[in-house]
Structure 1
Amino acid sequence: MKKTDVWKKAAAAGLATLLAVGTITGCAAKTDTKETGTPAGDTAEKDGASAKDTAAADPAGGDIPTLVYWTVGGTTPSDFDQDIAAINEYLEEKIHVKLDLKVAGWGDYEKKMNTIINSGEYFDMMFVNNTNYSRFVKMGAFEDISDKLQSVAPELYEMIPEQLWKGVTIGGKVYSVPTYKDSSMAQFWYFDDQYVQKYNIDLDQIKTMQDLDKPFRDMKEGEGKGFYPLQMSQGSPFNGFFNEYDGLTSGLQPLGVKVDDQTRTVICTLEQPDIMENLKLLHQWYMDGIINPDANVLTEPQKKLPFSSAQGWPSAVATWQVLNGVEKYDAFKVFGPLYSTDTIQGSMNAVSINSKYKDECLKFLQLVNTDSKLRDMLAYGVPDKTFKYVGDGVIEKQTDTWPLAAYTQGTFFNMSITEDADPDQWDQVKKQNEEAFSSSCLGFSLDLTNIQNEMSNCLTVWQKYKYDLLTGASDPETAVPAVIQELKAAGFDTVIQEAQKQINEFYN
């Protein structure tokens, strides 16, 4: 089936109503990373620049289109404008455009993008993800690029797999370009190798959380009272606890559909036997001192973790070692890879409905995804200044000042790797994507229009309990019934009914 047929089929299935993720969902998924400086681009908003005023002015002058591109990242260095000028020289040569690149800080991104969309501030392109994409589409902020892709950016259209286009389709139409990277999700667990060797931990025999019980207890007994084999915090709970359930892009973990359930029955995940058994196990570990006693109130994760869990690919273990200050982790996959709407919508770039340069935006995104030189410049900065090439497709960073986040921009598969990375890492990611199975609800996003109040109230209830439950601090035998009772009082049954109704209409 052609990719365009997928969109037409979705439209014919009765998807006239645009699917949306409400503001409260974005809040629930907000990153804990703090901003350390003022994001670029604030001046125009503070000066009261309207969409009309901004669109009328071309910062480049002449007839060279300049694309106002909002993204997310760290603090911009003092010479950032000069670096972007170097990128613009290349862009002008290749496709006759320039960028007016504006960076919202990690802690400011969600609020900043909401302000831009709500105020009508002019922009041409914007990085979006599963916290705001559907909502902004419903607000009419983004251009429908379904029909433009094949005519304006055919290479871009062809290089991105059909599953990804399906994952960003809303109401039978495509409003963003998905970032083809680790777009499927795989769950890894990893032990500090020193404990693997010391306690003869057989990693091949560990498939479930229950299988972790013996090695955890051996480590606890051998290391002593002040040692916690499973160290967690509010921002770093047991990663992937609800992997078996598709959250329908709702951001509400008690709501879901089993990823392999072909009946697509919406359920309360907390009522499922597998989730309940794992919650009981977490609580037992907490009571037995395997989990640190401050896990439910600790806001920042600790370093040198004896064991942890993360989503990634095999060679990502090198990054986990650096982040934790551990010499060697032994990592192994326990789930996935899985494609879901949530995993695909983790990184996208959308074109503004008000952009003067819609075709140019698509040509730019095509170039990012097909031109390695531009891809490297966006990811690492200016050659021989912020990075240098030390081999074919291998770079060495010269500074740590480049503020842009590489995962937001384009595919990983035409981007050079750092010299300390596994040379096969992109092949690993691509292979993982190729092997991924699709959630039974791939392509579906819950429209919150009719249940905004209920969702808001349910999220408040879940926020009240989740840190205690997901770090083992509360007894699920008493806490889960209390959560469910409060969820029902907040309108959870209505949410489930509406979700089921939408799914039935979507797939029938």
Structure 2
Amino acid sequence: MKNKSMNKILALGVVAAMTAGMLAGCGSSASTTDGAAAGTEAASNSAASNGEVPTLVWWTIGGTPADDFDQAVSQISDYAEEKIGVRIDVKIAGWADYETKMNNIINTGEYFDLMFVNNTNYTKFVNLNALENITDLVQTETPDLYNFIPTDLWEGAKIHGNVYAVPTYKDSSLTQFWMLDDAYVQKYNIDVDSIKDYATLNDALQTIKEGEGKSKYPMQLAQGSTFNGFFNNYDGLASGLQPIGVKYDDASRKVVCTLEQDDIMDGLNWLHKWYQDGIINPDANVVTDGGKGSIFGSAQGWPAAATTWAFNAGIEKYDLTQVFGPLYTTETIQGSMNAISANSKYKTEALKVLQLMNTDSKFRDMCAYGTEGNYMEYAEDGTVQKLRDDWNWPSYTQGTFFILSTQADGDPDAWNQVKEQNESAVSSTCLGFALDVTNIQNEIANCNTVWDKYKNDLLTGASDPATAVPACIEELKAAGLDTVIEEAQKQVDEFFAN
């Protein structure tokens, strides 16, 4: 199943797509080309050079922080100050607020030093000249970081031939799992391995619902935490617009409106049925946090991650079934990165924080699990035992998995599982392509405004697809969807004709 030309595609195809497909932006090509030199000059003027201990503002995504989160970050900063002479101020935007908050920060020029970015905003922020070109700086100032992360990932992070973010060295392919609380699996004798699609999932959910009664909702969803992985079948072309894509195995690479496809409509109908049947919580489309204890879950990861998923959900054990993947797309490769602000006063220091994150296991563990003695503790064998379930700075946003301590009740083979999934992943037929939105920025923005109006209701099952989908498509077309699809098809055809 593995694509034998994968490394070549990653090293050449992704770069070619990003270099050729995204050259135009809000800034000139000269400003991006000269960014690395400018970054080095700015770094040399850093306040750290005159004896100050800088505190770097780091914006990221996650759940609502615990009351003592800042205190824990202060302890983490003590370690960072001891090691590299800097402190960090971690600011978390909620799952439902992240996109809007990051856009506002960039558009208003609010100061920050580090920012978690992904395939929904990375290219956009680069084209706004908001992120620092670290192509040279990462090699001269943090060689350990540069040498640790594989070349393919650095190549995959390039735009205009330059690097503007440090990619996280972890699971770069997408594998989707569905899970059920083991207590209910045992209680109702459910064969989890047999669950592979909506119909077989429905049988299990209906059994649990009938047994537990009206007050129990087996699937707890919320704004920003809708049905995870719903559009997996479609390569979104790094467009940032879910209503368009190419079926990942479509050899013709036809760009379509995903909402017009039978498989997507089928999934939306199942969600609506579950909402009507009381399987999904009735306030799913209006609350921003689904809470803990969901009997069903859907997540992208690897088998050993079930321990973390269960712990975070307040569940003793989840039983998993793999329902999709592993799959490589351009978007999965760019799914988690950390960028440095072009306006940061501490560019070199910011890179040193990311180097520490990717090379120092103690620092990595503290950021991933929380501080020792409060959020976690080490067992005699060096594994981590979580003491609390409210550390809401997600590990996947921070840095590599491969120096993380595994959890005491987890699988010691976890990181090998990640590597094996990457090695066995199949490739989207559009791997390497990233849409250049220069000529369709307004249309994409307008379409996203429309989609934002409908998505929470549709992806929590609250609205009837029979009426909501046609209404959404009509508004999308009025906002310029056909123009976006036409331009995307043109670019796809040209890219793969070469």
| TM-score by shorter chain over 0.5 | yes
Cα pair distance change 1:16/1:477, threshold 3 Å = closer
Q: Residues 2 and 333 from structure 1, CA distance in 2 versus in 1: closer, same or farther, beyond 3 angstroms?
A: closer
Task: Tell me, yes or no, if structure 1 residue 394 matches structure 2 residue 390.
Answer: no
Is 2:212 the counterpart of 1:206?
Answer: no
Give the superposition deviation at 1:458: 1.8
Residue of structure 2 in register with 1:261 after alignment: 250
Q: Which residue of 2 is the match for residue 89 of structure 1? A: 82
C-alpha distance after superposition, 1:1-53 (max 9, x if no partner): 77996279617973462579xxxxxxxxxxxxxxxxxxxxxxxxxxxxxxx99
Q: Are 1:190 and 2:179 counterparts?
A: yes
Report whether the alignment pairs 1:170 with 2:159. Answer: yes
> Quick one: which amino acid aligns to residue 399 of structure 2?
G
Q: Does 1:423 align with 2:412?
A: yes
Q: Structure 1 residue 345: deviation in Å?
A: 2.5
Give, in whole Å, the separation in 1 of the partners of 2:318 and 2:465: 31
Q: Quote the residue 2:31 is aligned against.
A: none
C-alpha contact (below 8 Å) 1:370/1:414 kept by paired residues: yes
* Partner Cα distance (2:169, 2:255) in 1: 29
SS of equivalent to 2:410: coil
Secondary structure of the structure 2 residue equivalent to 1:454 = helix
Q: Using structure 2 for the length normalisation, give the TM-score.
A: 0.79
- TM-score normalised to structure 1 length: 0.77
Q: What is the match of residue 46 of structure 1? A: none
* Deviation string, structure 1 residues 115-168 (Cα, Å, up to 9, x no partner): 665566776654333343212211223344446666765654454345533432
- Residue type matched to 2:60 in 1? V
Letter in 2 for 1:101: I
Cα pair 2:58 2:114 within 8 Å, conserved: yes
Change (3 A) 1:300 1:362: closer
TM-superposed deviation, 1:495:
1.3
- Equivalent in 331, 334, 339 of residue 345 of structure 1: 334
Residue among 11, 14, 20 paired with 2:20: 14
Deviation per residue, 1:184-241 (Å, 9 max, x gap): 2221111223332343322232211122233333334444444444444444332211
In 2, are the aligned partners of 1:69 and 1:99 still within 8 Å (CA)?
no
Partner Cα distance (1:339, 1:287) in 2: 35
Distance 1:341 1:413 in 2: 22
Please point out which of 173, 177, 180 is paired with 2:169: 180
AA of the residue aligned to 2:58: W
Deviation at 1:374, TM superposition (A): 4.0
SS where residue 50 of structure 2 aligns? coil
Q: Does 1:477 align with 2:494?
A: no
Q: Secondary structure at the match of 1:308?
A: strand
Structure 1 residues 353, 244: closer, same or farther in 2, change over 3 A? same
Paired residue type of 2:70: P
Q: Give the RMSD, CA atoms, in angstroms.
A: 3.9
1:72/1:105 contact within 8 Å kept: yes
Moved more, 253-262 or 392-401: 392-401
The residue that corresponds to 2:273 in the other structure is: 284
Q: Distance in 1 between matches of 2:112 and 2:217?
A: 49
- CA distance in structure 1 between the aligned counterparts of 2:72 and 2:186, rounded to whole angstroms: 48
In the other structure, the counterpart of 1:103 is 90
Q: Identity of counterpart residues, as a percentage?
A: 57
Matching of residue 502 in structure 1 with residue 491 in structure 2: yes
Letter of the aligned partner of 1:103 in structure 2? Answer: V
Question: Aligned letter for 2:457?
Answer: D
Counterpart of 1:328 in structure 2 is 317
Of residues 443-452 and 408-417 in structure 1, the stretch that sits farther from structure 2 once superposed is 443-452
Report the equivalent of 2:402.
413
Cα distance between partner residues in 1 of 2:42 and 2:139: 32
Residue 425 of structure 2, aligned match among 420, 436, 439: 436
**Alpha-carbon spacing, 1:171–1:18, altered in 2? closer, same or farther (3 Å):** farther
Alpha-carbon distance in 2 for matches of 1:55, 1:154: 17
Query: Quick one: which of 217, 225, 230 aligns to 1:236?
Result: 225
Alignment match, 2:450? 461
Instruction: Report the Cα distance in structure 1 between the residues aligned to 2:99 and 2:56, rounded to whole angstroms.
Output: 18
Map 1:360-371 onto structure 2 (within 5 A). Answer: 365-371=354-360
Cα distance in 1, alignment partners of residues 287 and 391 from structure 2 = 30
- Per-residue CA distance 1:324-357 (angstroms, 9 max, x = gap): 3333322111111223233333321234556687
Residue of structure 1 in register with 2:440 after alignment: 451
1:58 Cα deviation (Å)? 1.6
The alpha carbon displacement at 1:378 in A equals 4.4
Secondary structure, aligned partner of 2:116: strand
Give the drift of 1:428. 2.4
Number of the residue aligned with 1:141: 130
State the Cα distance separating 1:244 from its structure 2 match: 0.6
In the superposition, relative to structure 1, how do residues 109 and 222 fare at CA in structure 2: closer, same or farther (>3 Å)? closer
Deviation of the 1:413 alpha carbon: 0.6
Instruction: Give the whole-Å Cα distance in 1 for the aligned partners of 2:477 and 2:357.
Output: 47
Q: Report the CA distance between 1:268 and its aligned residue.
A: 0.6
Distance 2:319 2:351 in 1: 42
Q: Which residue of 2 aligns with 1:70?
A: 58
Q: Aligned partners of 2:416, 2:24: CA distance in 1, in Å?
A: 36
Is the CA contact (8 Å cut-off) linking 2:329 and 2:432 kept in structure 1?
A: yes
Q: Secondary structure at the match of 2:487?
A: helix
Alignment gaps of 5+ in structure 1: 21-51, 92-97
Provide the C-alpha distance between the structure 2 equivalents of 1:225 and 1:125, rounded to a whole number of angstroms.
Answer: 46
Q: Would you say how many aligned residue pairs link Structure 1 and Structure 2?
A: 470
Structure-2 separation of matches of 1:340 and 1:76: 35
Find the aligned partners of 2:160 and 2:217 in 1 and give their Cα distance.
48
Unmatched 5+ stretches in structure 2: 1-6, 27-40
Name the SS of the counterpart of 1:300 in structure 2: coil
